[in-house]
Each structure stands twice: as C-alpha cells, then as structure tokens.
Amino acid sequence: GDSVTQMEGPVTLSEEAFLTINCTYTATGYPSLFWYVQYPGEGLQLLLKATKADDKGSNKGFEATYRKETTSFHLEKGSVQVSDSAVYFCALSDRSANAGKSTFGDGTTLTVKP
Amino acid sequence: DAGVTQSPTHLIKTRGQQVTLRCSPKSGHDTVSWYQQALGQGPQFIFQYYEEEERQRGNFPDRFSGHQFPNYSSELNVNALLLGDSALYLCASSTLAGGPGEQYFGPGTRLTVT
C-alpha cells in the first residue's frame, strides 16, 4: 500500500535559519503530494501541493518539489520565523480518486526560537 | 464562511461505551472524510461519505460506522470503545469535483477512553 516517511523530529531552529524537512513516499499509482501544517489546538491546513513530477508547490515562503525519480517531496524555507512553529505533515493522494483518502506521514514538530 | 466545524471539542468515555461525533462541512462541499490521529502520529483514513453513502474505507473495524445527512453533515459512530480508540478525530470536507487533496479539515474532537 501507499506510505509516507518523514524525517523524525523534533526540529529546533533559530529564527531566520534555513529549514529542510525530508519526505519520501511509496505509491502504487502516480500520486499528488502535499504538505499540511497543524498549529497547536487546530486542525490541519493545506500548506502546498504538487500534482505531477517536477512541479514545485509554494506558499508563505515554503517550497517543495515533486521528485519522481527519488520519490521525494522535501519541504524547505529559507528563513523561518517563530510563527512557523507547528507540526508539519507530508501526505499523498491517489490521483485516480477524488479528494479524500490521503495517506499521511507521522509529522515533524518544528520549534523556532527567537 | 464558517469552515468545517466539529462537535464536541472534547469527550471522555468509558471502555465498552458508544460515542457519536459530528461534523458540518464547509459551505459548498458535498464530501466528508473522517480520520483518526493518535498522539504523535499522522492522521489515518477511516472512511469517506458522498451522497449519503460510504464511498471509501480504510483499515478500521466495523465498530466504526458513519452516516451522512441530506445537508451533507456527517456523524462518526464508534461502538464498544477500546482504550486504543483514544485519539483526535478529524473531519475533512471536499467536493467530488475537487482535485486530489483539496480537503479542508476541522479542528477535531479529542476522544479519551478510560
């Protein structure tokens, strides 16, 4: 079955540091890939997505590129802020299905210190 | 737009009891998916409802059942509760015509089974 593996956390960075959170996946089909963010006490919010190979998703300074050859979708940000502290989830969805039934990684907790 | 709403926010039940969780989808959405998020893990897909029928189901026992109403709202029922059912239950709404992953999550219901 489909699966997503994220780098283990927690990750602690100083403000303005560079962020990378690794994500690799296995899928039987040709999935769409996503990063979600979960702030304390809240549900998941879609951060960015990519639907085909070499696509780059971007939002709020975060970027991730769909790498089919390495089955990866690493999340990056050039300069993190304290407000970026949250749990980040990598996920995939089978493109043959409608929205729903996403497969998630276990999440990576990011703490940014001033 | 109220977004996806869930009730109750928190719930404490005893082993063997039954529980019902409720979800109202985002305005304009007709599909509801339910996920279970155990502590420190990513969300696991339970099932998805569209047109008042279960369309897809994850690897959850029959103790987990659901319902969707004509107004697209949904309920998740869990019978014969086990300690391992303690988790955050997330509802996500989408449209059948939406792209893969175009889901909007509610804040979740925290279920504690004692």
Task: Render each residue's pLDDT in chain B as its tens digit; 114 residues.
Answer: 679 999 999 999 999 999 999 999 999 999 999 999 999 899 999 999 999 999 889 999 999 999 999 999 999 999 999 999 999 999 999 887 766 667 889 999 999 999
Q: CA of B51 to nearest chain A CA: how many angstroms apart?
A: 14
Tens digits of residue pLDDT in A5-57: 998 889 999 999 999 999 999 998 789 999 999 998 788 999 999 999 999 99
Q: Is B59 exposed, middle or buried (0-12, 13-18, 19+ CB in 10 A)?
A: exposed
Nearest to B87 by CA among B40, B49, B48: B40
Q: Report CB contact under 8 Å: A102, B101.
A: yes
Q: CA of A16 to nearest chain B CA: how many angstroms apart?
A: 27
